[in-house]
């Protein structure tokens, strides 16, 4: 069966995604914290238990 | 056949073609990303990454598409896909509602306000499902399997989600009320019973439609065995019977809750990815109220590797890619490239999916599946409104040259 994709394109796309993730991570507070910088606030357990929805939205009753 | 290997695990079985290149790429991706998550975050994130991978395989091998299940009921009067979803919701409700109310600290259910935002958002999402060709999970696992049209849908899904996040505060100010957990009114057992009654009524309605059209009901959702191969080969290369997918998806959501503290969700990550992209080109997202709320602000500021939905989505994409490679079907759906109106459908559908998901507090996974598994009223409202929107989407499909 003829291949339905280009191998090069797959490698390029996956590499771009990996690089984007890496760049994002290298500029993050978590990376700074892991590199020994103190006084940075990381968000490993991101949770806002006072929120009213999984996306962090507040309750309608709290809005004016 | 340069890209495939023929495996012959047993003399009785026909040759099994595996796309070695795709399988290798998926495994390399899993190893690299898994290693990075291990090094830079915490072991529980790696566990969630693995759960996401298995969920991606289950969605692909089980062909567990919410969108097609709803459409098949409407156009072909075939209810197996819909009944499989109802079984999944029932099983998850039975497992996760008691978990959430076991008194264990740190577990939060998928509950959300009920109001204008939810009704409008889920209705729009339903239209988008049929035009875009998938819901949140469906879009991701088909992208992982190499479907080009769904890549277009995903890009505009992300764009719509960011637009929705900018508008959500305004929608929240429209009439609505705070979340309604069914457990508050009925207790844990009562909430499960009430939900079972609701799911049973829907199943009865689905059966009635199918019996009226075909005179009988095909119980595909209850099959335990694969149709043509042994258990191991079916497990690796598909196609899974619905029951396998139901069990894995239910277990996956329960594990996500146990490990991550909240049920499975997908679309919040799209918001984060889109907002990060806009910040790269100079847009200050903190000018928008949504991105000043604690959780979105934290997620935007920190690495995507610390954001649970993002990490699980990465796993899901690679899991679906691995599954498609094992089935030797990677990119198969893209032999006919989307053109003209089909392309337009992916654009419009993606935007509606993203905008609707943000207003509706999630997609079929975060709002519907996890919402029912958390016994939240908003999930039932979401279900009704999204299905209504889906009916309109199905009617619009022929204009976009999409088959029904």
Q: What is the spatial distance between Cα B99 and Cα A8, in angstroms, rounded to a whole number?
A: 46
Beta-ladder partners of B181? B376
Work out the pLDDT band at B206, boundaries 50, 70, 90. Answer: very high
Least Cα distance to B87 among B286, B289, B249 occurs for: B249
Chain B, nearest residue to A52 by Cα:
B112
| Cβ–Cβ gap B113/A24 under 8 Å | no
The residues of A whose Cβ lies within 8 A of any Cβ of B are 1, 3-5, 7, 10-11, 14, 18, 21-22, 24-25, 28-31, 34, 42-61, 63
Task: Quote the domain boundaries for residue A27.
Answer: 1-40
**Distance from A32 to chain B by nearest Cα, in Å?**
10
Convert the pLDDT of each residue in B253-290 to its tens digit: 999 999 999 999 999 999 999 999 999 999 999 999 99
Q: Is residue A57 part of a domain?
A: no
The more confidently predicted of residues B3 and A6 is A6
Alpha carbon distances (Å) from B122 to A20, B42, B47: 31, 34, 31
Chain B, nearest residue to A31 by Cα:
B40
Query: Which among A22, A28, A57, A62 is the top mutation candidate for probing chain B, defined by the most B β-carbons within 10 Å of its own β-carbon?
Result: A57
Q: Is residue A56 part of a domain?
A: no
Chain B residues closer than 8 Å to A63 by CB: 172-173
Per-residue confidence (pLDDT) for residue B357, from 0 to 100 = 98
Q: Nearest by CB to B304, which of A11, A24, A53?
A: A24
Q: What is the spatial distance between Cα B212 and Cα B77, in angstroms, rounded to a whole number?
A: 9
Q: Is residue A63 part of a domain?
A: no
Q: Looking at the complex, does the CB of residue B281 fall below 8 Å from at least one CB of chain A?
A: no
Q: Is residue A64 part of a domain?
A: no
Chain B, nearest residue to A49 by Cα:
B108
Residue A55: asked if its preceding bond is cis (omega within 30°), the reply is no
Q: Are B132 and B350 in contact (CB under 8 A)?
A: yes
**Positive or negative: CA dihedral B78, B80, B85, B89:** positive
Percentage of residues of chain B with pLDDT beyond 90: 83
What number of other Cβ atoms are within 10 A of residue B242's Cβ? 25
Interface predicted TM-score of the whole assembly (ipTM), two decimals: 0.92
| Cβ–Cβ gap B176/A47 under 8 Å | no
Q: What is the pTM of this model?
A: 0.93
- Quick one: DSSP state of residue A48? -
Least Cα distance to A14 among B161, B366, B325, B96 occurs for: B325
Q: What is the spatial distance between Cα B363 and Cα B376, in angstroms, rounded to a whole number?
A: 14
Q: Is residue A58 part of a domain?
A: no
Q: Are B22 and B325 in contact (CB under 8 A)?
A: yes
Total tally of structural domains belonging to chain A: 1
Chain B, nearest residue to A33 by Cα:
B40
- Half-sphere exposure at residue B122, Cβ-oriented, CA atoms within 13 angstroms: 28
Query: Has residue B5 got a pLDDT over 60?
Result: no
Residue indicated by tokens 């898994």 = B34
Domains of chain B, residue spans: 16-220+232-400
Q: What is the spatial distance between Cα B160 and Cα B152, in angstroms, rounded to a whole number?
A: 12
């Amino acid at each position: 069966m003829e291949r339905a994709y280009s191998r090069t394109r797959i490698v390029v796309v996956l590499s771009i995604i990996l690089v984007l993730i890496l760049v994002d991570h290298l500029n993050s507070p978590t990376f700074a914290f892991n590199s020994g910088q103190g006084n940075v606030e990381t968000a490993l357990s991101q949770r806002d238990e006072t929120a009213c929805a999984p996306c962090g939205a507040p309750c309608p009753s709290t809005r004016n | 056949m340069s890209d495939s290997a023929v495996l012959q695990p047993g003399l009785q079985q026909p040759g099994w073609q595996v796309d070695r290149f795709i399988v290798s790429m998926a495994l390399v991706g899993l190893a690299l990303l898994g290693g990075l998550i291990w090094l830079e975050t915490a072991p529980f994130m790696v566990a969630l990454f693995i759960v996401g991978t298995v969920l991606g395989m289950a969605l692909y091998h089980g062909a567990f598409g919410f969108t097609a299940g709803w459409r098949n009921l409407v156009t072909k009067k075939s209810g197996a896909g819909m009944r499989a979803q109802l079984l999944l919701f029932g099983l998850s409700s039975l497992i996760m509602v008691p978990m959430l109310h076991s008194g264990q600290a740190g577990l939060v259910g998928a509950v959300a306000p009920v109001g204008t935002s939810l009704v409008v958002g889920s209705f729009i999402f339903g239209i988008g499902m049929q035009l875009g060709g998938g819901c949140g999970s469906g879009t991701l696992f088909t992208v992982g399997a190499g479907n080009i049209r769904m890549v277009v849908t995903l890009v505009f899904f992300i764009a719509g989600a960011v637009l929705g996040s900018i508008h959500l505060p305004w929608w929240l100010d429209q009439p609505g009320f705070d979340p309604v957990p069914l457990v508050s009114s009925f207790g844990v057992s009562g909430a499960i019973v009430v939900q079972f009654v609701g799911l049973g009524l829907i199943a009865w309605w689905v059966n009635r439609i199918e019996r009226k059209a075909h005179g009988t009901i095909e119980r595909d959702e209850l099959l335990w065995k694969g149709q043509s191969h042994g258990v191991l080969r079916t497990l690796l290369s598909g196609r899974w019977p619905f029951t396998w997918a139901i069990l894995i998806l239910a277990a996956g959501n329960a594990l996500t809750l146990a490990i991550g503290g909240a049920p499975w969700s997908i679309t919040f990550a799209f918001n984060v990815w889109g907002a990060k992209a806009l910040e790269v080109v100079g847009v200050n997202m903190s000018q928008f109220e949504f991105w000043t709320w604690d959780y979105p602000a934290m997620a935007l500021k920190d690495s995507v590797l610390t954001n649970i939905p993002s990490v699980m989505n990465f796993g899901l994409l690679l899991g679906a890619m691995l599954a498609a490679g094992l089935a030797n079907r990677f990119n198969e759906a893209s032999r006919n490239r989307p053109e003209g109106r089909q392309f337009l459908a992916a654009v419009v559908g993606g935007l509606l999916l993203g905008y609707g998901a943000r207003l509706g507090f999630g997609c079929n996974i975060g709002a519907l599946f996890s919402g029912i598994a958390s016994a939240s009223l908003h999930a039932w409202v979401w279900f009704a409104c999204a299905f209504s929107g889906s009916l309109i989407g199905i009617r619009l499909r022929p204009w976009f040259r999409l088959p029904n």
